[in-house]
Structure 1
Amino acid sequence: MIGDLTRAGVLLRLQGPMDAPLVHVDQVTALARRRDLPALLDRHVLYGPDQAAVRLGLRRTDLDHLLRRTLLTPARTVAVDFGKARGGEVAVDLYRGQDVAVLSALHPDIDWAALHRLPDPGGSIPWHGCGAHATNG
């Protein structure tokens, strides 16, 4: 996230690589106080699938269903190395915060309120506008 904000010019990189730059703590403190912080993050930050699910208030399994329906398109894919014991290098899609933020407005055919009420794990998924009714699994 800090790298995304540095690339966007929101934070000034003092040193280090662009993906993990060192920035002055006062910059971060000032940024945290901004009233427009959520909108600023949505414009400049890429979310992994777990972060996108949290941003939408969904379970990760529900986000996976949205992704299978191609309702959210990745902005970029990165390679993450989890080590040999955990499967090695894995491709992880990253999604624009702004795309995630407007998803419910773009798809009023989905019963978002019902999705937010689902227990974790299990239950049936209310995907009314996205084809056949699916169950979690």
Structure 2
Amino acid sequence: MRHSATVGFARSGRTEREEDPPSHDAPEYDESQAAGRLRVPIASFRWARHTGLVPAPDASSYQWSRATVEAIDAAAIQASLPHEPISAAATADRIARALDTPNMPDEPPVVSAFAVRRLITCGLLTGLTANPEAVLINPDQVAAVCGIKGLAQRLAAEAPLGPDQAAARLGVRRVDFDYMRDLMWVRPTERRQVRFGTSRAGSVMNGPRCSPRRPSTRTLRSTGSSCTTSERAGAPRSPCEGQAAGEGGRRGVSARHSCG
């Protein structure tokens, strides 16, 4: 009797569990997963979020709940970005042409990709990718930005400065600027890595860039042997270059390093 009662209790417990409805926790989606579930390009999803078609994340600071994602109109997201996004270089070229100072081949750009990334940081443009090396912009938004009054002055203010230019702009000696950098009083706005040379043992240059508001310096590191490297430290040309030069900005500063 005792054994039979034990078996009967076990069967009863198993039957109750089988009769309970299954529990499914609602999954959470980041923007890439949400775009995949809606079957829309990530660039379209990001633009729709910028325009308000996609609500703010409700599951966390960067995730949407399943119910929210399923309520989003995928067709509206597709229609919100009718034209193919363009790269940072193409955006820079369009802005330069709108300012009647087009970027010319084999010359320092009037408007650079760096300036485009600064406009994204300032909120004037919306980046449609999470990768800073592959910026994509809505061409319709670029056309709107080209009509902003005072855009040339804004771009001139955002032009990057090398360490000598930054020291001149601040009215201090270069060595004093280096001390300021070591004390972290000034920091680069952007740091870039550029590889060049004919072999893997060539030189590697770490080049931080800075805007006139937050100047900094760059470091040049060489690896391998018998190499000579040279890098321009001047800012790209801008429509207001003459004004910037009057404020202390200089072009044509070179940083040269040799190793034997």
TM (normalized to structure 2)? 0.28
TM (normalized to structure 1)? 0.46
